[in-house]
Structures are given as structure tokens and as C-alpha cells.
Amino acid sequence: MVGLPARGKTFVARKVQRYVSWLGYQTLWVNVGDYRRARAGAKQPAGYFAPDNAATRGEREGFAMAALDDLFGWFQAGGEVGIYDATNAERARRNIIRQRCAAAGVPILFVETICDDPMIIDANIRRNKLGLPDYVGMTADDAFRDFRARIAQYARAYVPVGDDEGSYVKLVDAGRQVISSRVEGYVSSRLVFFLMQIRPTDRPIWLSRHGESEFNLVGRIGGDAPLTTHGKEYAELLASFVRARTAHAVVWTSTLQRATATAAPLGHDVQAWRALDEIDAGVCEGLTYDEIKAQMPEDFAARARDKFRYRYPRGESYADVIQRLEPVIVELERERSPVLIVGHQAVIRVLYGYLMGKPQDECPHLQIPLHTVVQLTPTEYGYQEERFAL
Ligand code: F6P
């Protein structure tokens, strides 16, 4: 990461971390500020960050290098994508990073967040910085002034990434403009595409399974059964829940009738996605778990051993579901209105796993009960969760 403080680096870095690890790469995020807080203490005056403060400059370099050492140690132990979250505002620092990456054979992509809009910067400081351990015991106004003074110190030495520094992406004014240069390869290109969608927003996301279906009642999996009376009641309650919170929710469902019927009381503006259909249980569609165990004991045992990778004969695995949900994730990142997704047990587990940064193989075991709305509200670091049983 590159950029002055309060430009959204950590917000972007954490999003990238969740996305890349959800895609299946071993990912680590290190934040140099955390090293500084742990080793020198959180409370430092703005002058501590002055580029020409001879007493602190070496110490700050030391923290930056300690974080980088940890990242490279982790690469050596098999890590795949490292996110180095620091201002990296000076060319000299970036040169060191480039040299170390070249020596270790690690390709590098600079992601620079740029913003000169004082309104966005001030809002970012108020929202994300005043609660830092750096400002415990200080009034909000004093902390605000101090953080601005800190930024001014960094600005004295800041030099944006140049065309001669290798691959980069620059995100200008929270996504208004995206500039990329010399981006090569599949992961980096996919990442740039992802970065083009993300927007800071505070709108909630609501995840829900469909209302109870006739198949749920008898324990059969898959299929396209209608809702039960209870399921229909849930659909009405869900509509009231959403209407009480917003007048303009975006509503996405799968194409299966139990999901579309659950969203129906919300009105006409519902988008049905094939990508949100339940995991395809192939030859097991319509069976109960007991029937699968009796008729296909080896498959049943194989799924119990590795539920994430197990693929139903002529059907899907959770790993397959992750791949097909990617367009939904990208749209979700782009959308600024509140979003309600009405899906199914496996797909909601996977979406929840992405948003909450769960390791891939935990997804198949997450608890997502029927008739429960999972509300996720964005923060700088991820999402805050609240559940409502209706
Ligand atoms: O039982 C409801 C259901 O949505 C099935 O259609 C689907 O196969 C299953 O849940 C997914 O859950 P699990 O992966 O735990 O079997």
C-alpha cells in the first residue's frame, strides 16, 4: 500500500485480504502502525512522524523493516499473497521493498490511495482515526488536530509512485478514478478489476436463507420446492424488517421458487441470479442425508472428511460455489444501497464467509439457520454483525 494517512489504505488492504484469501490464496496483512504502537507506544506527538526528526526516523524505519521481515518469513513458510500496509510515502522506502521482493522472487504491485478532497479526508479521520489507541484520553477535537498535524508531516516527504517503479494501481478519490500501469498476470489483473469496484460505504448488507420449504420440512436437499405456511409468514416478516430500515433496498435472490417467493412481498424490483442457486447436489438432489448415507456410504464419508472440496457426483463442491459467486461479490462491492440477498444454506455460508473473512474450509460448517436475518454493517476493518431471528 502507498498513501498519506487517512486515505483509506487499511480499508482497501483489508478488502483485498478478504477477497484474495476467499479465492483460496494464503494471505497475510501486516500493518506497520501496529508494530509502532506495540514497540514504541501508541501515544506519539505529530513531530514523532516528521521526516527530518533524526531521533525517531531510525526507529520508524526499524518498525517498517520488522514488519517486512515478518512478511518475508511468512512467504518462506509458504505464504502466497502479502499485504504490506504502511504509508510507504517515500521513494527510498519503496526502493527497499522492491529490492527485497526482487531478491525473493516475489512480484510486487503498489496500490496507492490518493485523495485531496478535504471533506473525504476529514470524514475519514473522524470515522476511523479518533478511536485509535493513539488517542485514548484525548478529546475528539484535540485528536483530530493532532492527526491532521501527523498527515502534514508525512506530506512533506510524500512522493507518489512513479512510472519507473513497476506495477501500480492508483485509486483516486475513493474510486472516482482508477489508474493502472504495467499490471500483468491473472491474480494482479483480477485484483485490479476488484479494486475498481470497491467503494467506502456504510450501508448494511442483509443475508437470509429462503423461508422454510416443503423439502426443509422432510429433510430433503436441493430441488425446487415451494414455501410452507411458516415459510410464507417469514417472507412477510422479512419484508417488514427491510421496509422498517430502508425505502430503497436492492434485493437479489436465486432463481429457485423458495427464494423468489421469500422476496416477493418486497415488491417488483427483485433480481434473480443463477449464481445464487443452492449448491448442486447432483445425483443426490431430492434425497435426505439418511438416504445418501444408506445408498452412497463412500460419498457420505468422503463429504464428512472434506466437506469443502467434496463434489457431489454430477454436482458441485463448496469450492465450485465460491467460483461461481465471484460476480455476485463484485456487484456487492460496487453497490452503494442497502442490499438484501435471499439465498440458500450453502451460498449464504459462502457469502458470509467472504464478508467476515473466514478461511475457505470453515465455510461449509458455518451456522446459518432458517428464518434469521444476518445484518452486516461496514467498518474500516470489515463488518459488524448482528442477527435477527424473525
Ligand atoms: O437442506 C437445505 C440445503 O439448502 C440443501 O439444499 C443443500 O444441499 C444443503 O442445505 C447445504 O448444506 P450442507 O452443505 O450442510 O449439506
The pLDDT score that the predictor gives to residue 202 is 87
In this structure, are residues 113 and 7 in contact, taking their beta carbons and an 8 Å threshold?
yes
Write out pLDDT tens, residues 263-313.
Answer: 999 987 899 999 999 999 999 999 999 999 999 999 999 999 999 999 999
Distance 96 CA to ligand 1 centre (A): 50
Amino acid at 265: P
Sign of CA dihedral 240, 349, 346, 192: positive
Q: Which atom of ligand 1 is nearest to the CA of 307?
A: 14
Residue ID of nearest Cα to ligand 1 atom 13? 346
How far is the CA of 229 from the CAs of 100, 106, 145, 338, in angstroms? 63, 57, 58, 28
Distance 345 CA to ligand 1 centre (A): 6
Number of alpha carbons in the 13 Å side-chain half-sphere of residue 123 = 13
**Residue among 217, 283, 344, 350 to mutate when testing ligand 1 (max atoms within 8 A of CB):** 344
Place of cell 444454506: 345
What are the φ/ψ torsions at residue 113 (nearest 5 degrees)?
Answer: -105, 125
In this structure, are residues 181 and 168 in contact, taking their beta carbons and an 8 Å threshold?
yes
Q: Which set of grid coordinates corresponds to residue 5? A: 494517512
In this structure, what is the dihedral angle of CA atoms 376, 248, 270, 208, given to the nearest 10 degrees? 20
* Nearest CA-CA partner of 223 in 294, 284, 272, 311: 284
278 Cβ closer than 6 Å to some ligand 1 atom: yes
259 Cβ closer than 6 Å to some ligand 1 atom: no
Q: Which set of grid coordinates corresponds to residue 348? A: 449464504
What residues act catalytically? 85, 115, 210, 278
Q: Average pLDDT, whole number, for the chain?
A: 95
For the chain, give the secondary structure using H, E and C: CECCCCCCHHHHHHHHHHHHHHCCCCEEEEEHHHHHHHHHCCCCCHHHHCCCCHHHHHHHHHHHHHHHHHHHHHHHCCCCEEEEECCCCCHHHHHHHHHHHHHHCCCCCEEEEECCCHHHHHHHHHHHHCCCHHHCCCCHHHHHHHHHHHHHHHHHHCCCCCHHHCCEEEEECCCCEEEEECCCCHHHHHHHHHHCCCCCCCCCEEEEECCCEHHHHHCECCCCCCECHHHHHHHHHHHHHHHCCCCCCEEEECCCHHHHHHHHHHCCCEEECHHHCCCCCHHHCCCEHHHHHHHCHHHHHHHHHCCCCCCCCCCCCHHHHHHHHHHHHHHHHHCCCCEEEEECHHHHHHHHHHHCCCCHHHHHHCCCCCCEEEEEEECCCCEEEEEEEC
Query: Would the pTM of this model clear 0.75, i.e. be above it?
Result: yes
Distance 240 CA to ligand 1 centre (A): 27
Residue 79 CA to residue 72 CA, distance in Å, equals 9
Write out pLDDT tens, residues 332-352.
Answer: 999 999 999 999 999 999 999
280 Cβ closer than 6 Å to some ligand 1 atom: no
* Nearest CA-CA partner of 15 in 211, 199, 288: 199
Per-residue pLDDT of the chain (390 residues; tens, 9 = 90+): 999 999 999 999 999 999 999 888 999 999 999 999 999 998 999 999 999 999 999 999 999 999 999 999 999 999 999 999 999 999 999 999 999 999 999 999 999 999 999 999 999 999 889 988 999 999 999 999 999 999 999 999 999 999 999 999 999 998 889 999 999 988 889 899 999 998 888 899 999 999 999 999 999 999 999 999 999 999 999 999 999 999 999 999 999 999 999 999 998 789 999 999 999 999 999 999 999 999 999 999 999 999 999 999 999 999 999 999 999 999 999 999 999 999 999 999 999 999 999 988 899 999 999 999 999 999 878 899 999 999
